[in-house]
């Protein structure tokens, strides 16, 4: 009994430390968000050389890294339900992919789509990519260090699992996106000096702009219809990327390093996440397609009658989930997700307050009526509105007044 009490107390203390670390990380993120529209350092033309930052900014950076490191240690020690579920999925997924890969090699089918053959010919890459995607999906509140590690481990599988048609259509675009992501992440190795980090961020922005312009100027060869559409969409997005990078360079030169870093990293991270989700959807489609072609499932009545329809529905759901995930991730990287959440919460709170005020007004009006007055019609009106609008619930007094006698 004493041991159980001690374990419970330790678990409570650990949970309190995790919540405290989460609050400190949120406070640090809020402080960074408030600095997006402020000038951090003098313009570049007035003080060009490194060392222009203050000791306070460097100390804040080191303090934030230490908080994040401690938060990662406590989060891993907590071993919550999401972590256990993720671990179970990762353990079961590997033998499933290996089993499908072995069976597909014993009975090869030349008519299989390219995304199927690529996912099963590279089972380790498929498992690693889906395992890292599972970290991002099942642990959205995980420390940034854990999420960044998952993204770094997925670099090679992303390039290995892109469908061949996508590689032909995009050419070197995926490799440029991955290379820029690596260069951007190498910024953590820059010494804790605002001036050096400013020059490094400016160099990354200029490099990204130069590579984007170089890729846009390359004459596209004749492609198939789907590949041509994909290339056209990427080219249109590239012009938007150039505009955002131009704003980033101007902000950096003007002295707003926070905004410049947010825009540059947001563009690079969004591009890499798009590749990661694209490769992940292709891998999942390949695994589901191969699983549905196994004799144990292919002979089922549901699969025989509705197999193609189920596959199309699964593909559309995967694509929709990938689009939503990319939008949420991009909004978070550009620092607009938290403000949107705050605005949404304020709107919901306002709706609850208005509903409560209406119900209170109707109840007060009816209770203040003299005996014999027709007090039921306003209460019935409120009750009718509540019936037609599920988000509105009348209070008990209004319902009692409006109910038939």
Q: What is the pLDDT of residue 206?
A: 95
Segment among 12-26, 76-90, 276-290, 368-382 with least mean pLDDT: 368-382
Instruction: Report CA-CA distances (Å) from 30 to 24, 34, 35, 144, 335.
Output: 10, 6, 9, 15, 10
144/65 Cα distance (integer angstroms) = 10
Q: Is the pLDDT of residue 391 over 60?
A: no
235/157 Cα distance (integer angstroms) = 24
Burial 278-303 (b: 16+ CB within 10 A, else e): bbbbbbbbbbbbbebbeeeeeeeeeb
Q: What is the pLDDT of residue 400?
A: 41
pLDDT confidence tier of residue 39, bands split at 50, 70 and 90: confident
Q: Is the pLDDT of residue 211 over 60?
A: yes
The pair of structure tokens assigned to 62 is 């080191």
Higher local confidence (pLDDT), 374 or 230: 230
The residues near 130 (Cβ < 8 Å, ≥ 6 apart) are: 93, 280, 283, 284
pLDDT tens digits, residue range 143-175? Answer: 888 888 899 999 999 999 988 878 888 888 899
pLDDT confidence tier of residue 245, bands split at 50, 70 and 90: very high
324/57 Cα distance (integer angstroms) = 35
Q: What is the pLDDT of residue 397?
A: 42
373/197 Cα distance (integer angstroms) = 75
Span 221-230, average pLDDT: 62
The pair of structure tokens assigned to 233 is 């969409």
pLDDT tens digits, residue range 314-367? Answer: 889 999 999 999 999 999 888 888 778 777 777 776 666 666 666 665 556 555
Q: Is the pLDDT of residue 23 over 90?
A: no
Instruction: Report CA-CA distances (Å) from 111 to 79, 116, 169.
Output: 44, 10, 22
Torsion, Cα of 68, 73, 78, 82 (10° steps): 60
Q: What is the pLDDT of residue 390?
A: 45
Percentage of residues in the chain with pLDDT exceeding 70? Answer: 68
338/300 Cα distance (integer angstroms) = 47
Q: What is the pLDDT of residue 73?
A: 76
Span 14-39, average pLDDT: 67
pLDDT tens digits, residue range 44-93? Answer: 877 666 554 455 556 666 676 777 777 777 777 777 778 888 889 999 99
Q: Are 153 and 132 in contact (CB under 8 A)?
A: yes
Q: What is the pLDDT of residue 299?
A: 75
pLDDT confidence tier of residue 388, bands split at 50, 70 and 90: very low
Across the chain, what does the average pLDDT equal?
77
């Amino acid at each position: 009994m004493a041991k159980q009490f001690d374990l419970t107390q330790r678990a409570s203390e650990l949970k309190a430390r995790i919540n405290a670390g989460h609050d400190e990380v949120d406070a640090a993120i809020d402080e960074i968000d408030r600095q997006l529209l402020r000038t951090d350092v003098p313009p570049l033309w007035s003080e060009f050389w490194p060392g222009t930052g203050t000791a306070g900014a460097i100390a804040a950076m080191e303090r934030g890294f230490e908080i994040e490191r401690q938060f990662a240690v406590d989060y891993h020690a907590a071993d919550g339900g999401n972590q256990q579920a993720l671990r179970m999925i990762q353990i079961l997924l590997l033998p499933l992919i290996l089993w499908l890969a072995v069976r597909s090699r014993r009975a090869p089918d030349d008519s299989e789509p390219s995304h199927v053959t690529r996912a099963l010919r590279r089972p380790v890459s498929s498992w690693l990519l889906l395992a890292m995607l599972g970290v991002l999906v099942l642990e959205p509140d995980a420390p940034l260090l854990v999420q960044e590690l998952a993204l770094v481990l997925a670099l090679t599988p992303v390039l290995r699992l892109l469908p061949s048609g996508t590689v032909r259509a995009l050419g070197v675009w995926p490799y440029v996106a991955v290379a820029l992501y690596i260069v951007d992440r190498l910024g953590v190795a820059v010494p804790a000096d605002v001036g050096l980090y400013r020059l490094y961020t400016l160099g990354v922005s200029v490099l990204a702009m130069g590579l984007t312009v170089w890729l846009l100027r390359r004459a596209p060869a004749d492609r198939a219809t789907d590949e041509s559409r994909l290339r056209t969409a990427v080219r249109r997005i590239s012009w938007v990327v150039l505009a955002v990078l131009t704003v980033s360079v101007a902000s950096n030169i003007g002295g707003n390093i926070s905004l410049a870093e947010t825009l540059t990293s947001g563009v690079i991270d969004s591009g890499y996440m798009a590749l990661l989700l694209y490769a992940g959807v292709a891998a999942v489609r390949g695994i589901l397609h191969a699983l549905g072609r196994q004799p144990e499932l292919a002979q089922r009545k549901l699969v025989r009658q509705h197999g193609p329809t189920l596959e199309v529905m699964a593909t559309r759901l995967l694509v929709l989930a990938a689009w939503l995930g990319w939008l949420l991730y991009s909004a978070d990287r550009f620092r607009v997700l938290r403000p949107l959440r705050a605005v949404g919460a304020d709107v919901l709170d306002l709706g609850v307050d208005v509903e409560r005020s209406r119900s209170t007004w109707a109840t007060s009006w009816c209770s203040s009526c003299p005996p014999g007055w027709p007090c039921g019609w306003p209460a019935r009106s409120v009750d009718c509105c509540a019936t037609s609008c599920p988000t509105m619930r009348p209070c008990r007094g209004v319902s009692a007044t409006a109910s038939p006698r």
